[in-house]
A and B are shown apart, each in its own frame.
Chain A
Amino acid sequence: MKKELFNRLCSDLFTQLSSNEHLSLEFRGEESFFLRFNHGKVRQNTEVIDGDLYFNLVADQRNINGKAPVTGNWETDAPRLRNFLQELQTTIKTLPLDPMSVKPQDFGKSSAEIKGKILSASEVADAIFTEVGDMDMTGIYAGGTLFRATANSVGTEHWFAVDNFNLDYSLISPSEKMAKGNFSGSEWQQKQFMLNRSNCQNQLAALERPVKKVTPGKYMTYLAPGAIHEIIGLMSYQGFSTKALKQRQSPWLRLVDGKAELSPRFTLRENFSLGLNTPFNELGETTQELLPLIEKGHLVDTLTNQRSAKEFSLPSNGADAHEMLRSPEILPGKLVAKEALGQMKEGLYLNQLHYLNWSEINAARFTGMTRYACFWVENGEWIAPIENLRFDDSVYEIFGSKLVDFTSQAETFTESTTYERRQLGGAKAPGALISEMHFKL
């Protein structure tokens, strides 16, 4: 899809509106190649060209949303989209009044195109498999061009296109020990990939020691940045949503009620300067570059979209429809990662966590599993990889009373999920030393 065609399609649709109708449009599209591999060989390979136009039509305090395919061909798209809009226009008149419907505003204009060097199907295979050799490697390469654009009937126009790739993989030893790797960017650099793969492989070597079965209990625990990234992902789900907080389905209820505290070392914010996501949401509303949410343990803001803003009489801060984190960052602390290990007489070093879920959201309690390279530590040394453990703990402990500190170094993680289509986004997270974490199974 070309920017000019997007603008032409939008203009055409805006001319179909009556004076009482207001329309916001969002385009999400991709031209992608997916290469899935297992045992260091190709499992499946798929090329996808896809695009959808999302509609938000507001008229006379009524509201309707829609989605229709866009192919990038004017002759195909223009009549189909006009018909689709007409169907929405007919339906909206019949709907009950929606007092929280919000007319679009002019959120300005922007345009950004990030060109990169994306490898062809055969080049991708050569680049990955030549380097990996006969190692057992499983995962996916997803690369190509992603499109996000918005426009509305009062003048907003944002266009964003990026060439990028994300290689998300696991290296697996003959005894089924696994180490996680991720390599992403807009231009494939073979030397950087070699380094990335080599770092991942080094973790595997340490995993070849005999496994220790750790009994459930309380242990001092180091959570590596990958593990903290997983916790941020969980907190994104209902964690900072204004609507969830107002409906009293939020981990921060006790904080707001003054019944629990977080550590003054814990600061979390949206940081769009990381360049991981577009600064505009699906309505084209832009967000401030830095949006503090938790500052030194205090909840200073939540994610408020246009509907919540109207319903709860708050200012909108450009949150998306689901009021989820889009480019979060936990600020680093003062702990040097290597020294964190040194502080552990006995404990656990967890590189990754798996399948996190709120076990009791209103108490900020969550559960999950250890995964990948996780070790039992004695006197500051990795002694043995562990059998997977289940934990159940509270954010108020992990990022509160039991938080020793975050590490001074943080890592950036780019979004690798591809539900429906390749996603934008990511997070920046340091590691953390926790004086005591609860393991249940």
Chain B
Amino acid sequence: MLKNLKDWAKKIKVEADRVAFRYLKEETTTVTTRDQRPEDNFRGISEGVMVEVHKNGHVGYAATNNLEFESLQRAAEKAARQAEVLAERAVFKSELADRPVNKGEFVSPGFDVDSLSMKAINDVLIACDHSLKVSDKIISTTSNCWITDAQSIYICSLGSEIVQKYRFFSTGFMAIAQDGTVTQKRTNYGRNHSVQGGFENLSLDILKQRAELIGEQALELVSAEVCPTETTNLVLAPDQLMLQIHESIGHPLELDRILGDERNYAGSSFVRLSDFGQLRYGSPLMNIVFDPEEMGEFACYAFDDAGKKAEREFLIKDGLLVRGLGSTESIRRSGVPGVANFRATSWNRAPIDRMANINLLPGKSTREEIFSSIENGVYMESNSSWSIDDYRNKFQFSCEYGKLIENGKLTKTVRNPGYRGVTTPFWNNLKMIGNTDTYSYYGTPFCGKGEPNQIIRVGHGSPLCLFSNIEVFGGES
């Protein structure tokens, strides 16, 4: 395909300052089993090209899944026509420098190194279903595996030539337990465990162990007390902090939200452009990085869809906000330092500012030091419910699994734990941050944003963290 695209780029006839092709092919296999039998076996292909034409200081986009030269020629003509007629109404003037010239390749761990038949995946997942069902009180078990091999090629008439190949790998489990009228659900870190990598992620022994723990914890939850409602110390596990980082740090730092692009859909941000370099976002323990270079984490890549080289950058340093999540276009529009995060969900969407891997760096405290410092508090794992306002201030999150912390020790399990707060007071209440032994990263393929709508893959790493003075609550059931 690279050769075809290069040939077509030479042949294409359109009057423009720049023409680019962004090709994407994704081949997906998903297998879901429920109660030890197949629930869904799916094989899907998506393939197409976005043609991008820069003319009169504006960019026109036209996408097609017909990979014939004539189709791309027509798409280029449409994109050029859009740029011509809409340039004078554009919210900002595009510049050729918004698409830096780069050449390079990226290959994620696991890409094209191994494969497993759909039958073999079924066998593993059915075995995991068995492991989830630790008791007759487990009324339903579900296991799933989602593998996508993706290849993107970006060719730009300014000289860029970028090939990136990925294998995205997700595994998920769910056990539903019932005791009388109480029903509880426990999953794999809140939904799925998503990484870049190969079939080592489908290791039967490891997954069965994980599935058995999920089944046991579901069982534990149906006989647990409801989480108390009080203002107290809160310790969050990395699989919940993933969501906390995503919603209350990632989204509000997206420059396109701050510039107003998202106000009709995903929302705006409480962060102002003048806050960069000024705002005390959280406690001095807090260091947040944009890190597309963390190999294996779900949103690794070497170049974004503008062709910009992707590198690790501090967003928040010692609690101070220093950099936004915006790529070349947003950096120029805002005057704020940014990152390489101009990304499209697929070949049929124009790129916008997205998160990639946004990670909270580990500190120095051991797990024991964190828990032993707490007289009274609650520990929570794995997100089950999430909601935040359109300026990313007032949030409420619930978790699947909680434990009371009493006199420095984890004691009773509690069900339906939740907490609510406001973004910057919450992060300024960060009191202790775990060391590398407590650090893990997770990912999700379901970050939604943009008009037209786009979901995209993101990753978030975090250590165990202690927050003080947090409003926690339990449920009714």
Which A residues fall within an 8 A CB radius of B?
Answer: 34-39, 41-52, 62-73, 76, 84, 87-88, 91-92, 94-100, 121-122, 125, 129, 136, 138-140, 142, 168-170, 172, 176, 178, 180, 247-249, 253, 257, 259, 354-360, 362-363, 365, 367-369, 371, 388, 390, 392, 394, 417-422, 440-441
Contacts and interface: CB of A to CB of B under 8 A. Distances in A.
Contacts of A367: 385, 387, 396
Closest A-B pairs by Cβ, 3 of them: A67-B44, A140-B451, A418-B452
Contacts of B294: none
A247 B139 contact: yes
Contacts of A139: 264-265, 451
B89 A125 contact: yes
Interface in B45-65: 45-48, 58-65
Considering residues B62, B123, B264, which has the most beta carbons from chain A within 10 angstroms of its beta carbon? B264
A46 B349 contact: yes
Contacts of A169: 264
A91 B30 CA distance: 13
17 contacts: A44-B59, A46-B61, A46-B349, A68-B44, A71-B65, A95-B118, A96-B122, A100-B39, A139-B264, A248-B139, A354-B389, A360-B398, A360-B416, A365-B475, A390-B396, A419-B453, A441-B420
A45 B82 contact: yes
Contact of B389 (A49, A67, A355): A355
Nearest to B120: A94
B11 to A, nearest CB: 19
Given A38-B259, A72-B66, A359-B385, 10 more contacts: A41-B89, A45-B86, A50-B48, A63-B38, A99-B37, A121-B85, A121-B86, A125-B89, A247-B140, A392-B396
A95 B85 CA distance: 54
Given A69-B48, A138-B261, A247-B176, A121 B387 contact: no
Nearest to A390: B394
Contact of A46 (B261, B350, B420): B350
B334 interface: no
B382 to A, nearest CB: 15
B348 A50 contact: yes
A77 to B, nearest CB: 9
Contact of B263 (A170, A259, A390): A170
B38 A95 contact: yes
Interface string B98-123: 00000000000000000001110011
A171 B208 CA distance: 53
A165 B391 CA distance: 29
Nearest to B66: A71
B85 A125 contact: yes
Contacts of B181: 253, 257, 259
Given A45-B60, A100-B37, A138 B398 contact: no
A91 B44 contact: no
Given A64-B43, A367-B387, A369-B389, A42 B452 contact: no
